[in-house]
Amino acid sequence: MLPRALIGDIKPENWLGFIDAIYAIILTLLLIELPSAILDLIKEYEKHPELHWILLNSFALSLFGYMAIFVIVYDIWAHHRVVVIEAVINRLNLSLGVFMLFMSSLLPPLYHIISVIKHEFLTKEIGSSSDYGIIFWDARLAVYVISFSIYGCIALIATKDLRFLRRQGDVPSSRMVALKRLKDSSFAMVIVIVLVGFLALSGYMSAPVPLVIIALCTHLPVDKIMLQLKRRIIPR
């Protein structure tokens, strides 16, 4: 790596444009898959017109799934921006940020695999007992593990930086509030992903319902709800 003496100190504004571009590419790659999925369904309908409703069902499931992944990646981008702006600039945080970018880039191809195999299940071209069933389960597990890892990294950064800044003292209250909200939000998402992932992989929910639930939770005040439940269960 180039020494900082040559490139200067890394500032938040140097990273914001970079992460915005990366997440824009990730979302673009996600949406690029939709036209090909629609064309595949049209070709399938031409071969098997009797599967009309099954193919429509497959398209609807794929559409909701892609929409859910889009919302989840958008939420990760929003969290990552707050990390860049408010977190302490050090080597560990920068390394975790790069890791988060890489893990996020894996979500579109993984969901494309899930969508394709789900379509094959619906049209009965492959059986659930085949190797594709194992790949389907593994791909879903990978999506939950990746999402858990990303939000876990965000929670780790926010938690340790809050402790560090409190020891430092003389820190703007707005920064402390932002990091605390970041910590609560990311921890809430970690819990949601664990619960939903467990139910999904245990067979209680089928794709894309688990991802839709996770996506909905990104737009609900789940962190505040969990804090209220915690205060009722463990009153001070």
Domain boundaries, the chain: 12-233
Mean pLDDT of the chain: 81
DSSP the chain: ---HHHH----HHHHHHHHHHHHHHHHHHHHHHHHHHHHHHHHHHHH-GGGHHHHHHHHHHHHHHHHHHHHHHHHHHHHHHHHHHHS--SHHHHHHHHHHHHHHHTHHHHHHHHHHHHHHHHTTSS-TTSHHHHHHHHHHHHHHHHHHHHHHHHHHHHHHHHHHHHHH----HHHHHHHHHHHHHHHHHHHHHHHHHHHHHTTSS-TTHHHHHHHHHHTTTHHHHHHHHHHHHS--
129 phi and psi angles, rounded to 5 deg:
-90, -5
**Spatial distance between the Cα atoms of 135 and 113, rounded to a whole number of angstroms:** 9
- Residue 69, Cβ neighbours under 10 Å: how many? 27
The pLDDT tens digits for 12-45 are: 667 788 899 999 999 888 888 777 777 776 766 6
pTM of the model: 0.85
The pLDDT tens digits for 47-90 are: 666 666 666 677 777 788 889 999 999 999 999 999 988 888 88
The pLDDT score that the predictor gives to residue 109 is 87
